[in-house]
Structure 1
Amino acid sequence: MTDQQPLRAGVVGLGMIGGGVAVSMARRGRTPLVHDIRPDASADLAGVPDPLASPAEVARGSDVVMVAVVDAGQAREVIGGEDGLLAGAHPGLTVVLLATVALPVVHELAALCAAGGVGFLDCGVTPGDRAAENGMVAIVGGDRATVDAALPVLDDWARKVVHCGPLGAGMATKIARNVVTYGSWRAVAEAAALAGAAGVDPARLAEVIDTADPEGRTLLQLLGMHGPDGALPDAVGAQVEPLMTKDLDATRDLAAALGVEVPLVDVARTHARHTLERGERPAPAGDDLHRLGLEMMDRVYGPGFSSAVPDTGEPFTGETVDYLFAQVWSRPGLSVRDRRMLTLGVAASTGRSELVQIIANGGLVNDELTPDQLREAALHLAVYVGWCNGTATHTGITAAIAAHTPHQEQE
């Protein structure tokens, strides 16, 4: 192979990705040799010749061969099988693995190729539905010399080739990119379920997102906030964290009120500080701890509730604010609504209607529970705590609903 002799290309596997790669190269004038277990696999692929009988035949007539199979087992067979690429290999051959497989498999196949004197690159690709339009990104891992040697072929089917680093880096980057893809799908699923449960057409949610962020920049905004040293500045985290936690808390509370499961939201809230690279939150102390407790009281029982807490300096009152609300109710493991339901059950077991009323009122004020849900809770709890305690629970809930309803009617 010299500068006057163009690189010869091959493709094994003519599915959506492999077939698209072959079409893109043929359109550029570098018609590849191809193989597929289906004899007619290239029939509808413009400019692509009939498949050869084996991967070995493709290897004999190619300098760079793209392997576009589904899984690790197929990749092993195509590369190292009896009629695989290595059976027809020659000096200077490079194998480019397009299949998404685990990193140990990448290193296994690379070692197999190296033993046969064959170059190897791992190459994730995306988006697969644009393979036939020279529209994919080639996400490459391997040594620089092997990448440079294969680059003319890669350029014929990829709109951009990104060399991510040494062997395995391309596959790792592709896998990480898949996390963004499927993780965002889960986020969209939870958001759509939440909007739908609140009576909002999910199409309106899509309209808002498309209009506010048509190019999807928000999805990668966190990466863009990192400084030259690769770390997220603490000043950025300090600014974002209160907004992030407030919004996620509101989301969890709404989801709880509507009966919508949002596990991804729960994880995002639990690991908010880790996401923002802020480490563990130092335990608040002194005035900060007391202020947090008062704020949580208002969040649990409604605005202004904490103003009724006497500032007597008594240990019990102090610990109610500084420990119960600042350090227990504020923990991220359960939503406020979850903790309210647990506390309602405990209050019901005491037969104290006034305690039940306070807890139920907080649920109404925060729109976590409807009057009908509270009435149903009174019946459910009565079966477990006894009818006498159940009667007190019903009394407290009825009083909370009665006190809340006029407020609702005045709005």
Structure 2
Amino acid sequence: MTDDGNLRAGVVGLGMIGGGVAVSLARSGRVPAVHDIPPDASANLAGVPDPLGSPAEVAKASDVVMVAVVNADQAHEVIGGENGLLSAARPGLTIVLLATVALPVVHELGDLCARHDVGFLDCGVTPGDKAAENGMVAILGGEQATLDTALPVLSDWAKKVVRCGPLGAGMATKIARNVITYGSWRAVAEATSLARAAGVDPARLAEVIDTADPEGRTLLQLLRMHGPDGVLPDAVGRQIEPLMTKDLDAARELAATLGADIPLVEVVRARARQTLELDEQPPPAKADLHQYGLEMMDQVYGPGFSTAVQGSGDPFTDETVDYLFAQVWGREGLSVRDRRLLTLGVAATVGRAELIQIIANGGLVNDELTPDQLREAVLHLAVYTGWCKATATHAGVTAAIDTYTASRPPTAQEQK
């Protein structure tokens, strides 16, 4: 190696990403040595030469080699196998792993390369379909000096090179980025389901989002609101929380009315405070505990439910309010809906229809559970509690549904 322009590039694996990297390198004037198992793997890759016979041959002809394989086993074989890169590597070679593998594998391969005095970088890439257009972002983990050595080659196929930290950081960043991608897909799926159930063409939803947020800033808004220390300011979280919970509650209410399934929304609502990095709400002072328990009782079973126990002075009733509702139902760890389903399961083992009716009614009036979901729960519980006890569960749920249905007008969907 004499200067950056004379750094020789190599690519092992000529699939969509590896083949695209090779094409971008060739277009830049740094024609790579390549290897793949099919002898005609480069036939449709503009400017890319015929594959060499093994990774070892690529190592001999390269200073920086990109390894674009599918999984950890292939990465081990290409790098450390009998005819792998290390079998013919000289000190100073740099290997850049483009495959998404577990972090322990990254460190194993890094240690293996270090024993051969070979540099190693883990490199997540995105978007893969832009590989042949010099259009990917290279997400790197590894030593800065190693990255500096490989940077001229990386820059010939990536539109941006981002070092995220030490070895493994590139892979971790790529995995985290994938969580955002697929998590947002699930959010889009639920939003589309909700819109469609309300009679809205999903194309109109897309039009609204594209117009209101053309560059997708909202998706990463939470990340960008973090301070220099990487922590979301408490004041920001407290400002957002009431708006976030109000909007999520509105989504849950609409979904319950329309019979739409939105499990992600349920999780997001239950974990709203964790999302905004707000501390768990401190328990109320002892003087306020009883009132808080009464309010939680109404939240669980519907407005006015607590009037039946107010002023009783009975020790058991007081503990039910002060402990069960104020300190257990009122905890942040599970949503009210989660706790209701757990309680419904326990009540089903007792076989008391009147208790089942109270629990089921709370789920209905709070728009946490639809009649169909409760009926499905009866069948599920019957398998675990036995058919005889499930008869009482069925009776209680049916009574709750009948009372609830009689107290409100039918929805537009039910009238169809």
Instruction: Using structure 1 for the length normalisation, give the TM-score.
Output: 0.80
1:359-392 CA distance string (max 9 Å, x none): 78766655567789999999x99x9679999999
Aligned AA for 1:92? G
Cα distance in 1 for partners of 2:396, 2:227 equals 59
Cα distance in 2 for partners of 1:149, 1:385 equals 71
Q: Would you say the 8 A contact 2:351–2:392 is kept in 1?
A: no
Q: Would you say the 8 A contact 1:141–1:168 is kept in 2?
A: yes
Q: What corresponds to 2:114 in structure 1?
A: 114
Q: Please say which of residues 274-283 and 42-51 is displaced more in the overlay.
A: 274-283
Deviation at 1:320, TM superposition (A): 5.8
Cα distance in 1 for partners of 2:369, 2:91 equals 72
**Partner SS, residue 41 of structure 1:** coil
Cα distance in 2 for partners of 1:88, 1:404 equals 78
1:43-88 CA distance string (max 9 Å, x none): 1111111111111121111111111111111111111222221222
Cα distance in 1 for partners of 2:58, 2:390 equals 79
**Partner SS, residue 39 of structure 2:** coil
Q: Would you say the 8 A contact 1:20–1:131 is kept in 2?
A: yes
Q: Would you say the 8 A contact 2:374–2:397 is kept in 1?
A: no
Cα distance in 2 for partners of 1:81, 1:175 equals 26
Q: What corresponds to 2:82 in structure 1?
A: 82
Q: What corresponds to 1:156 in structure 2?
A: 156
Q: Please, which runs of 5 or more residues in structure 1 have no aligned partner?
A: none
Deviation at 1:211, TM superposition (A): 2.9
**Partner SS, residue 140 of structure 1:** strand
Q: What corresponds to 1:339 in structure 2?
A: 340
Q: What corresponds to 1:166 in structure 2?
A: 166
**Partner SS, residue 104 of structure 1:** helix
Deviation at 1:30, TM superposition (A): 1.1
Deviation at 1:242, TM superposition (A): 3.5
Q: Would you say the 8 A contact 1:98–1:122 is kept in 2?
A: yes
**Partner SS, residue 123 of structure 1:** strand
Deviation at 1:194, TM superposition (A): 3.8
Give 1:361-372 correspondences, 5 Å limit: 366=366
**Partner SS, residue 277 of structure 1:** coil
**Partner SS, residue 6 of structure 2:** coil
Please say if 1:130 is aligned against 2:130. yes
Q: Please say which of residues 157-166 and 87-96 is displaced more in the overlay.
A: 87-96
1:12-43 CA distance string (max 9 Å, x none): 11111011111111111111111111111111
Q: What corresponds to 1:229 in structure 2?
A: 229
Q: Please say which of residues 284-293 and 55-64 is displaced more in the overlay.
A: 284-293
Q: Would you say the 8 A contact 2:95–2:119 is kept in 1?
A: yes
Q: What corresponds to 2:280 in structure 1?
A: 280
1:186-223 CA distance string (max 9 Å, x none): 33333333444454444343333333322222222222
Cα distance in 1 for partners of 2:98, 2:393 equals 66
Q: What corresponds to 1:182 in structure 2?
A: 182
Cα distance in 1 for partners of 2:260, 2:391 equals 31
Cα distance in 2 for partners of 1:376, 1:142 equals 52
- Cα 1:339–1:204, aligned 2, differ >3 Å: closer, same or farther? farther
**Partner SS, residue 163 of structure 2:** strand
- Cα 1:402–1:85, aligned 2, differ >3 Å: closer, same or farther? closer
1:83-133 CA distance string (max 9 Å, x none): 221222223211111111111111211222222222111111111111111
Cα distance in 2 for partners of 1:163, 1:49 equals 30
Aligned AA for 1:23? V
Please say if 1:314 is aligned against 2:284. no
Give 1:150-299 correspondences, 5 Å limit: 150-252=150-252, 255=255, 261-286=261-286, 288-290=288-290, 292-293=292-293, 295-296=295-296, 299=299
Aligned residues: 403
Q: Please, which runs of 5 or more residues in structure 2 have no aligned partner?
A: none
- Cα 1:197–1:285, aligned 2, differ >3 Å: closer, same or farther? farther
Aligned AA for 2:174? K
Q: What corresponds to 1:73 in structure 2?
A: 73
Deviation at 1:264, TM superposition (A): 3.4
Q: Please say which of residues 106-115 and 60-69 is displaced more in the overlay.
A: 106-115
Cα distance in 1 for partners of 2:84, 2:289 equals 67
1:270-328 CA distance string (max 9 Å, x none): 4333333234332223465455445545545656x379678647357755654554445
Aligned AA for 1:314? G
- Cα 1:9–1:342, aligned 2, differ >3 Å: closer, same or farther? same
- Cα 1:373–1:139, aligned 2, differ >3 Å: closer, same or farther? closer
Q: Would you say the 8 A contact 1:253–1:337 is kept in 2?
A: no
- Cα 1:228–1:267, aligned 2, differ >3 Å: closer, same or farther? same
- Cα 1:148–1:373, aligned 2, differ >3 Å: closer, same or farther? closer
Q: Please say which of residues 170-179 and 242-251 is displaced more in the overlay.
A: 242-251
Q: What corresponds to 2:36 in structure 1?
A: 36
- Cα 1:359–1:98, aligned 2, differ >3 Å: closer, same or farther? closer
Cα distance in 1 for partners of 2:195, 2:329 equals 27
Deviation at 1:260, TM superposition (A): 5.0
**Partner SS, residue 74 of structure 2:** helix
Instruction: Using structure 2 for the length normalisation, give the TM-score.
Output: 0.79
**Partner SS, residue 180 of structure 2:** helix
Give 1:341-360 correspondences, 5 Å limit: 342=344
Q: Please say which of residues 268-277 and 85-94 is displaced more in the overlay.
A: 268-277
Cα distance in 1 for partners of 2:238, 2:141 equals 36
Deviation at 1:397, TM superposition (A): 6.3
Q: What corresponds to 1:23 in structure 2?
A: 23
**Partner SS, residue 160 of structure 1:** strand
- Cα 1:330–1:197, aligned 2, differ >3 Å: closer, same or farther? farther
Q: Would you say the 8 A contact 1:256–1:337 is kept in 2?
A: no
Aligned AA for 2:214? P
Cα distance in 1 for partners of 2:88, 2:120 equals 15
Aligned AA for 1:237? G
